[in-house]
Chain A
Amino acid sequence: MKISQIQELLEAEVICGGNELDKEVSSACGSDMMSDVLAYVKDQAVLLTGLVNPQVVRTAEMMDMVCIVFVRSKAPTEEMITLAEEHGMVLLKTSKRMYEACGKLYAAGLGAKGVTV
């Protein structure tokens, strides 16, 4: 699925990385715990989270993720946006809650493959 489809499905606002929306992504994960993202994520390209701090962007960068979706209308700070821009990462913001946002993407075929338990 393209990042642009994620944006449409979640009626999300593009905060930065607007020229990367054509990128293909094949799996995602949702978490507010960066510890778990670091421990369980393998090859997911997209992170859905309700947490807002610079470590969200840094953690995603460490895991080679390309897109972060902030749920519940959480807005990233200027510092986070600058960091994401440096890494060519797409930041999206949706008013949907975590459960619904993940469910919509999963139902549309964006799986969770690569999560190791």
Chain B
Amino acid sequence: MSEAVRFHFTVDGDDFTSAGQASVQVKKNLRTLGIAPEIIRKVSIAMYEGEINMVIHAGGGEADVLIFEDRIEIHLCDNGPGIANIDLAMQEGFSTAPDNIRSLGFGAGMGLPNMKRYSDSITIDSALGKGTKILMTVNLS
């Protein structure tokens, strides 16, 4: 078994302008690796939603993308406020985003449901006051 290819990013939480940069870079890297377009699409959208969430809800964090022979894993880790009720947060339309986020085009409460939709599995591990860890897996072929 060959080693997994790994990309690491620090997601800046202080600068909304840069939000989404890591996902754009991952999309580029996956293209270079010759990954199928449908897979790239799933990984990019799932990661982008998660990356934006880290910026707007958690003050930034770390993102790791691991490419194995049979799957791609997206690990997102932040030290933000945590998610009080994950079941509620997973519902379409649930959002705690303030108005200034909405005026930037986000905060419809669609991100987490979309992350679930575009990944083959998602686990969310969150502790109030500590942070949130998300693992999304997209199967290859």
Contacts and interface: CB of A to CB of B under 8 A. Distances in A.
B44 interface: yes
A63 B45 contact: yes
Interface residues of A, number: 20
> Could you tell me the dominant secondary structure of chain B's interface residues?
helix
B23 interface: yes
A81 to B, nearest CB: 14
Contacts of B16: 53, 55
Contacts, number: 67
Contacts of B21: 58
Interface string B109-122: 11101100000000
B1 interface: no
B105 A55 contact: yes
Interface of B: 16-21, 23-24, 27, 37, 41, 44-45, 48-49, 52, 92, 102, 104-111, 113-114
27 contacts: A33-B102, A33-B108, A34-B106, A35-B105, A35-B106, A35-B109, A35-B111, A38-B45, A38-B110, A39-B108, A39-B110, A39-B113, A51-B104, A51-B105, A53-B17, A53-B104, A53-B105, A54-B18, A55-B16, A55-B20, A55-B104, A55-B106, A58-B23, A58-B24, A59-B20, A62-B45, A62-B48
